[in-house]
Structure 1
């Protein structure tokens, strides 16, 4: 599959996403227009819309030095520029982790974060929120040559003292000794810690984001890359060199930083590229021997990495780039890039589509289902009342009076039970507040502050391990405390719903129940990721305070975000869980009042029976129109939501 087809696939995906955004926006308007909206549901819909609008398909490319990773990125995405856009010449390799995307508001630029920023206890995410901390070079998108020149900063290095390199976590005495370097006065390091590149390439404008991570050293000293950025990517492309196969450092990177980002079911979205297959060509063995050698290397690599051989792609990025620039179809076929492009176009984009659908269904599927069931209940009640009026003998004044008395009794009983409902809601509010307070920032920060203070006393690997465990044990206990409160709150909600279903025949709408299982799972996953990172060979060898501090800070930030999300979700849930019942209560009240008004009119003047029936019929038609509009919107969402 050619790059043009990948672009078309990405365009199709972006079009699907835009249609989904439009459908959700139509649904939000529908709720407002027909008075179904409330502040909580509106916020939920606006949040999901913002998330979809900011959605990016992130592909992370991971490899040791000199595997041809940047050349592969050039071949896959930027060949139409006619130049080697990102620097990837022999001996000139990307030194800083680099993100490529399109920032419509910021325009075309390259932003560079200086390497000394590693001394500050500030996360990359926080730096990204503050453009002033970056060195910016504006890009001229009409001049690939100017962009080429600007991108040379990605390979820029400088020499600093060994002591400073040590503080920055960029000096490893054991590795240096293996290379024959003993007590050097200065050390060569990258100029930049991180790079952000924005320009309006068609693929980037469609939402593609590329993460280029250079070497084990960068991953081994930047926990945020391994523990946050790689796991959030839709796909990780791990690049090997075909002539060397899986080296010791490749395997260390794979085990410590790639596999941990794709644990369990998340092994989806993982591909291995065996690059530089052109280096395996041998005139003496010919085409047949060449193919056999490639197959053997694929099988060996797949076996070592414990991976399905179908996601190991032999490629010559160098040949592919040259072929695309020259328009040489035969050379492009020889480069074997098409299978990798197929994988990115079909599997990865389909996976991303499924993930987004899952997120939308999780966030607003309940709202849509509730709306459909409420509309069905409205139409059913209106139809039932219409049929009842058509069949009644309103000539009999005694019967009319009896019906009015029964309706008034229903109204009085309804008002009494509404008071009971309000009392139940107050009890629920108290219970919900206890649940919300269990995730309070004060409680979380108190735990973090205490464990961090203990950590400051010991920066050894053992001390780090003990304090990490202490932190996560206390956070686990915090979550566990909310389990009983959650169960009590769930029982209360079910009881309130059941009361109104049994006593008034309300439409059965299964209440959305809050659960903390997902947050517990995510917290455990962070702990496991942290342990894997901490025990990796690179981290064990460096054992430097800056790496330890950044690991701890990264874990803290992730854990805090999860617990803050738990609190936010608990607030949203507690504010909205009774809303469907309130809608039915309001409709029930309106139905009783309307019935009383009609019976009163009929009792006063027999000639108004036909008028009342006509009024009921006129009220039914708009409800049916509302339902048709809703069903059309649900269909446009392409979600697995059962209407009514």
Structure 2
């Protein structure tokens, strides 16, 4: 069979990406272990490294396939992943359209299975992500019967017949005040008057032992684009969190108005997301009575128009025939496979999407490791400088008479006493500082405050029956959230000022190291909140087109948005608290380090005062300490190079 799975550039790219992730994760673990051994930084930094290592290890490429009904999304997935089975695996023939989003993942322990979430769960104000942790909410089917797997998957196309009132309650039909006159009743051909057909399932997860899926690919097969309006979580979570999108259009229609609306409102807003646009069913233009060059020119012209209308590069538009690609692989037809365009798509995924996803993960790893390595190198350099200065002072002391030693002891005793007094006063002001943090920085970001804002906004949202009213309530909700954010921003500036003022006096008086912590960047997070508000406001404007302002959909949309904003605020508050804790921990560490070193110097001087003969022993001890510090610098540099080399490693 031409171009089997083992030859797939996607599989090769994912395997190379997995090897890179394993190497990077191992280097991160080593850096975390060394950071713990050195004991120079607060424990929170070690936890950050370990969490990042776990994230890198468990990472997968999430690919969402999006398009209108009957655009060939599922058939394309069959051609990409399941042609080796010699048959159509996922149901995609006429009358067998996938009716709910399907997440296709690798199978844990190699056991295939299908989990289905009943459509009735739409009546619950619980997200699909939370329901994934509730096993009892799902129907589980085994897919272990080999040749019967494809037949069993037809369950994904099932519908049920319900009363139109039930469909409205679930948000799957327009409310009565949005139905055209004379069309208040619906007739289902199979069930009769007042009945409608709706999908049986709301969401599904398919676990399969498969080389590409097991190598780290997760595919989200979506139903028609109207599901984006009917299921807000699909819009605001699943599609937004996907690492890449395949947007399926028809070669005959190009970009329709509904395609353009969906693209503008939902698909292109994530700047970190990689998108490919596929012009499917190019085989409909194949005509043996036409000149092949004329056909190619027509296809190229449609691709150019599509790229211009969507505002993307021509390289992101790929003409393809998913059905012919599947047929070519099943029949072993190399010429048809080349003509289908599937090889170009696989190349684009392997050479554009996978490297793009790796680059984002690489940048995140570089940012954290650079900060942690820089801070530790600076502290070790300061420690080495201090030891060198002590050694030099003792050598100079040895060259002088011992008459000055008692005077030096008294000076160090006075300096240490002054420091302990100042440090005690500083500790006394910590309580007031923590109260200021709680009042001015953390209180405006409290969950109780945002729960009240969400509760009030929810009530107002449900009372709105026009698009303008919904948009206005979205806007008011974000205005209130932004106001709390501004209070926190002002609080952050005030807290930062208090920190600087408290520490600056001690730093100047005792030559303490500069406070080398990263200031809390709450202002950029405010900008992200405003961008989120603008995006969701556009969604509110589209509700009339997408879902006819159905109350249940409006409620679900708002709760999804509100949940996102609340989670964002919780993350911001946690980061702010972590920032305060880290600053306090670093200041305490600097103060404790100064106290320890001053006490060591005083102790050394006292010993020198008693016996000048001990100078040589003290110098030798300092040289041993300095040698240890330099070895630590070398080990840190070795691990730094290991991390750098793992991040720089080229794809195999």
Partner residue, 1:189: 198
Partner residue, 2:118: 114
Partner residue, 1:335: 340
Please say if 1:524 is aligned against 2:530.
yes
* Among candidates 236, 247, 252, match of residue 227 of structure 1: 236
Q: Is the 8 A contact 2:402 2:612 kept in 1?
A: no
Measured against aligned partners, the alpha-carbon deviations of 1:505-558 in whole angstroms (never above 9, x if no partner) come to 333343321232243233323322322222227645522111111111111111
Q: Distance in 2 between matches of 1:361 and 1:501?
A: 30
Q: Distance in 1 between matches of 2:22 and 2:514?
A: 33
Q: Is the 8 A contact 1:394 1:609 kept in 2?
A: no
Please say if 1:359 is aligned against 2:364.
yes
Note the aligned Cα RMSD (angstroms). Answer: 2.9
Bigger shift: 168-177 or 488-497?
168-177
Q: Distance in 1 between matches of 2:109 and 2:458?
A: 38
Partner residue, 2:190: none
Bigger shift: 192-201 or 329-338?
329-338
SS at match of 1:60: strand
Partner residue, 2:227: 218
* Among candidates 527, 533, 536, match of residue 539 of structure 2: 533
Q: Distance in 2 between matches of 1:289 and 1:409?
A: 94
SS at match of 1:159: strand
Q: Distance in 1 between matches of 2:89 and 2:628?
A: 59
Unaligned stretches of 5+ residues in structure 2: 188-192, 648-652
Matching of residues 397-408 of structure 1 within 5 Å: 397-408=402-413
Please say if 1:317 is aligned against 2:319.
no
Q: Distance in 1 between matches of 2:56 and 2:621?
A: 43
Please say if 1:543 is aligned against 2:543.
no
Matching of residues 148-297 of structure 1 within 5 Å: 148-171=150-173, 183-184=186-187, 185=193, 186-259=195-268, 261-262=269-270, 265-266=271-272, 268-297=273-302
What is the number of residues matched between the two proteins? 634
Q: Is the 8 A contact 1:519 1:562 kept in 2?
A: no
SS at match of 1:148: helix
* Among candidates 441, 445, 466, match of residue 472 of structure 2: 466
Q: Is the 8 A contact 1:239 1:274 kept in 2?
A: yes
Change in CA separation of 1:321 and 1:387 when aligned onto 2, cut-off 3 Å: farther
* Among candidates 444, 447, 461, match of residue 441 of structure 1: 447
Q: Is the 8 A contact 2:105 2:207 kept in 1?
A: yes
Partner residue, 1:619: 625
Partner residue, 1:11: 15
Q: Is the 8 A contact 1:221 1:539 kept in 2?
A: no
Measured against aligned partners, the alpha-carbon deviations of 1:622-643 in whole angstroms (never above 9, x if no partner) come to 21122222222223333999xx
SS at match of 1:542: coil
SS at match of 1:113: strand
Partner residue, 1:298: 303
Q: Distance in 2 between matches of 1:345 and 1:607?
A: 71
Q: Distance in 2 between matches of 1:103 and 1:471?
A: 42
SS at match of 1:9: helix
Please say if 1:30 is aligned against 2:31.
no
Please say if 1:431 is aligned against 2:432.
no
Q: CA deviation at 1:94?
A: 1.2
Partner residue, 2:650: none
Partner residue, 1:514: 520
Q: CA deviation at 1:565?
A: 0.9
Q: Distance in 2 between matches of 1:82 and 1:383?
A: 74
Q: Is the 8 A contact 1:526 1:555 kept in 2?
A: no
Q: Is the 8 A contact 2:25 2:54 kept in 1?
A: no
Measured against aligned partners, the alpha-carbon deviations of 1:1-39 in whole angstroms (never above 9, x if no partner) come to 986322122122222222222222222222322333544
Bigger shift: 242-251 or 428-437?
242-251
Unaligned stretches of 5+ residues in structure 1: none
Matching of residues 457-496 of structure 1 within 5 Å: 457-496=463-502
Q: Is the 8 A contact 1:101 1:205 kept in 2?
A: yes
Q: CA deviation at 1:122?
A: 1.8
TM-score, structure 1 length as denominator? 0.91
Q: Is the 8 A contact 2:228 2:235 kept in 1?
A: yes
Change in CA separation of 1:160 and 1:324 when aligned onto 2, cut-off 3 Å: same
Q: Is the 8 A contact 1:114 1:134 kept in 2?
A: yes
TM-score, structure 2 length as denominator? 0.90
Please say if 1:66 is aligned against 2:70.
yes
SS at match of 2:445: coil
Q: CA deviation at 1:42?
A: 4.1
Change in CA separation of 1:324 and 1:605 when aligned onto 2, cut-off 3 Å: farther
Q: CA deviation at 1:65?
A: 1.0
SS at match of 1:112: strand
SS at match of 1:214: coil
Change in CA separation of 1:611 and 1:537 when aligned onto 2, cut-off 3 Å: closer
Q: Distance in 2 between matches of 1:325 and 1:106?
A: 24
SS at match of 1:227: helix
Bigger shift: 362-371 or 606-615?
362-371
